Each structure stands twice: as structure tokens, then as C-alpha cells.
Structure 1
Amino acid sequence: MFAAVVLFVFTCLTASRADHHQPCHSHNMSGLMSVTSFRGEVRAVGAYTYDSMGRKLRFRSNESHPTNSSIGLDLLMFFEEGILYEIDSKNQSCEKKKLQMTLHPLDIPDDAKYSSTVTSGSSSIEGEGMKVNVWVGKLTSIKGSYSMSVTMGCLPVTTMYFTETTSFLFSNLDVELEIKDPDLLVVPSFCHGKPLEDTPEGTVNSFLNEFISLDTAVHRILIPSHLPPPC
């Protein structure tokens, strides 16, 4: 009898700990996202709409919050289908590409590893701290890693991506747990019938790689290749 009770308690504790350390999945969300390179340059501040059930994300940067070092992006991603649309509403055009990597900063990957639970701010002063779980993992398709800070209610707060060429901090701001404008997750009419573009060998299409490409382009403009690197 005692052995049975011990086994039952152990099973319950194990299940509880396993649930606590299993990646959760985010809610539907609308909000703002800022993207900052580890060189301290703001790469984008944009509005997003995320459908967690349908696994769809729309991100539009540099519209209501323009920055000098950012290029406007309008991205519509269907992670389930593995499709990325780069949209240019002004010129009524778009490009349809295959997603090689579906990782994005608004949801914890299923294979993420629990790292720790920490308090941002102060745990001893009421209202001045926020407890978050930290999840880490390796990037797929490109060499690198990530670290995500997520609230106890499974709301991503910050995500850091580290690659061989550059690193970024994605911050989640002014979040509302709803899809405020479902039409943003619908493919624009001028994109209908677009063929899937061929992906050049060695190219990785993903939400993160949009910023890696942007960061590389901006860095080349700021520091031309014919000049020696700064000391």
C-alpha cells in the first residue's frame, strides 16, 4: 500500500514538473515589436498581428514608428504552409517565397529547452517585478542560437537571436490578446496567383533572415567594403 502511495505521489510530481517545463504556445496577439541589433541600432519598430491557432503572422515596420536605420517591411507568413509574402502595398506588388525556417519570436519552439525562471525588475517590491521563464535552443537552417523570456501566462517578452554574423533583440510591446484586424492575415488581392519563387542555393527565407539581410545591407552602407574596419 505504501509503495503504491509513493508511486502515485511520484507520478503526480513528475507530471507536474514535466508540464511546468514543457514549452507553451502563445495566444492570439496584436501589438508592436521592436528589433534592435547588438550594435545598438534599431532595425525596425512595427505593428504585428499573430494568429496562434492558424499559425499566421503579419508584420509591418517603419510605418507609424519610422527609424533612420530601418527599411520598411511588410511580411505575411503562413508557417503551416511554409509560405512568406513580401508585400509592397504602395506599388501593389508582392513576392511569394518558400519559408525554410518557421522560427519566429512570438512562439516557443517545441524543441526549446527550459533554462531558468528569473524575475525582471524586483521580486521584493510589489508591482516592480515580472517573473519569466527562459527558454533556449539552436537555430535551424543557419548556425546560431536563441534565448526567449516568456511570462507565466505564455506571453513572449523578449527574444535574443545569436548568429555567426549578427545578433538581434526582439521586444514585444503594447500587447493585446486578440486579433484586432483579421483582414491583415488575408493575402492581398494583387498577390493572388503569384508563382512560388525559386530560392537560390544557400538562401534561407525566414522572419529572422529578413533582418539579417537588412542588417548586412545597412552595415555595408555605413561601413563600405573598400574602407578598413573601425578599430
Structure 2
Amino acid sequence: MKLLILLSICSSLALKAWTQPSPCVSPPFMTGNAYMHTEIGGITTSGSFDYDALGQQLRIRSSGFSLNGTFSLDLLMQFQQKVAYEIASSTRTCKKVALDAPFNPIQIPPGSFPVAQTVLGTGSVAGMGLLANTWYGEIPQIQATYTLVFSDNACVPLSGTYSSPESGTIIISFYNILLGVRDPMDFIPPYFCQSEEQKNLEDLPKSNFFRLVSPGNK
């Protein structure tokens, strides 16, 4: 009898360990589309992104609207060099700014814990459902909280919500994601940025990811 109880307990613990998702890191190269809405400023944007975790680079092309009107973005962020380029191909102009925040790879931050495992779509028919894990975490230093949803297979980002007193609530959704990089040249500043490239880092205005992708808040 004691042996049966022990086996039952071990089986229960093994099942819990097997179903408990583990923190994951997304593939190092991705391209896709994203939608973002910020509570402060009422900013909504959608567009494409190219992600290079090894080179710590991000290219974003999007358009959107805010309380101040409509806008379009073409941003190249190079975190290893601590710079970003605001690119306007239509006018062949470019503005270089200093990035005052480190690169944050797409992953489950340390200290996060799983809160749910769900199937997006249906699990009744093979190939018509996507198993996803939801994670929650806090950043006490800035009174921020976040909820992140990643696919169980391949750790592809699906959505995220970030809230803090300073930024309000920010909602991001990812879709149409492909593994790899479409064009490595997307991570090289256009030729008309050459004069900006020569500027010294200490002479540049400072910005960060959320300020750059939320021009309606400037």
C-alpha cells in the first residue's frame, strides 16, 4: 500500500514537471509584423520588423496614428554601437540618436513565472491549434508589470502587455513571423546617412526604444 502511495506521488510530481513550461529564448533571427497600442498618447502602430539578436540590431518599418495625427516610421537600432537612425527614404534624410538603454533580447525575463498554458485555435484537429505559454513578471524598481505570451514550440513571441506609472499600458501583438532575415542590408544605414554616421556619440540626442516607436509622445 505504501509503495502504491509513493508511486502515485512520484507520478504526480513527474506529470507536473512535464507540463510546467520552462523559460525560453526566441530564435536569434526573425522577421514579421507587429501591432502596438500605447495608453498614453493613444498611439497605435502596425508594420514590419527585422530582428538580429546576435548583432543586437532591430529594423522597424511601420505607420500609425496618435492624438497628434498620423505618422510613419523607419528605424534602425544598433544596440552594440548604442545608436539608432530615424530614416526618411522619401526625402533622403536621416537622423542619428544615442540609445540610452541596453539591448533586450526577445525572451522570458529572469524571475518570470508561468500563469497559463493554452491552445490558440482548436486542439480537436491536428495542425489547427497552437500551444502557447503565458508568463507574468514584475520590475519593482519602476513599479512595472508585464505579461508575455510565447509559443511552446520554438519560443515565438505572440503578444505582450507592459504597464508602469510612467508609460501606462502598452500592448504588442506579433504575427506572420518567419525565422531568418529577409535582407542583411536592412541592418546597414542607407547611403544618405553617411554624414550622420560620422557624428560622435556624446554629441547626439538620447532616446530609447519606446520613445522612438512612439513619436506621438514626443
TM (norm. structure 2) is 0.71
Contact 1:95 1:197 in 2 (8 A): no
Partner residue in 1 for 2:163: 162
Partner residue in 1 for 2:99: 98
Change (3 A) 1:146 1:186: same
Identity of aligned residues (%): 23
Alpha-carbon offset, residue 145 of structure 1: 2.4
Partner residue in 1 for 2:5: none
Change (3 A) 1:216 1:39: closer
Partner residue in 1 for 2:75: 75
SS at match of 2:130: strand
For the pair 1:118 / 2:94, whether they are aligned, the reply is no
Contact 1:34 1:42 in 2 (8 A): no
Alpha-carbon offset, residue 118 of structure 1: 1.6
Change (3 A) 1:188 1:124: closer
Give unmatched runs, 5+ long, in structure 1.
1-12, 218-231
Distance 2:157 2:113 in 1: 14
Distance 1:109 1:145 in 2: 13
Structure 1 residue runs of 4 or more that deviate by more than 6 Å after TM superposition: none
Partner residue in 2 for 1:195: 200
Partner residue in 1 for 2:87: 87
Alpha-carbon offset, residue 49 of structure 1: 0.7
Contact 1:36 1:170 in 2 (8 A): yes
Contact 1:21 1:114 in 2 (8 A): no
Which residue identity does 2:130 align to in structure 1?
A: M
Partner residue in 1 for 2:62: 61
Contact 2:56 2:79 in 1 (8 A): yes
Which residue identity does 2:201 align to in structure 1?
A: L
Contact 1:146 1:160 in 2 (8 A): yes
Give unmatched runs, 5+ long, in structure 2.
1-13
Alpha-carbon offset, residue 177 of structure 1: 0.9
Alpha-carbon offset, residue 124 of structure 1: 4.6
Contact 2:83 2:96 in 1 (8 A): no
Partner residue in 2 for 1:46: 47
Alpha-carbon offset, residue 112 of structure 1: 4.7
Render the CA deviation track for 1:75-99: whole Å, top value 9, x for unaligned.
Answer: 2112334332222332422122123
Render the CA deviation track for 1:21-52: whole Å, top value 9, x for unaligned.
Answer: 23323341111111123589561111111112
Contact 1:27 1:155 in 2 (8 A): no
Change (3 A) 1:143 1:94: farther
Change (3 A) 1:131 1:38: farther
Render the CA deviation track for 1:110-164: whole Å, top value 9, x for unaligned.
Answer: 5251323421445653255322122333459854222211112110010111121
Change (3 A) 1:112 1:72: farther
TM (norm. structure 1) is 0.68
Change (3 A) 1:130 1:39: farther
Distance 1:198 1:151 in 2: 42
Count, aligned residues: 194
Partner residue in 1 for 2:129: 129
SS at match of 2:71: coil
SS at match of 2:210: helix
Distance 1:114 1:199 in 2: 39
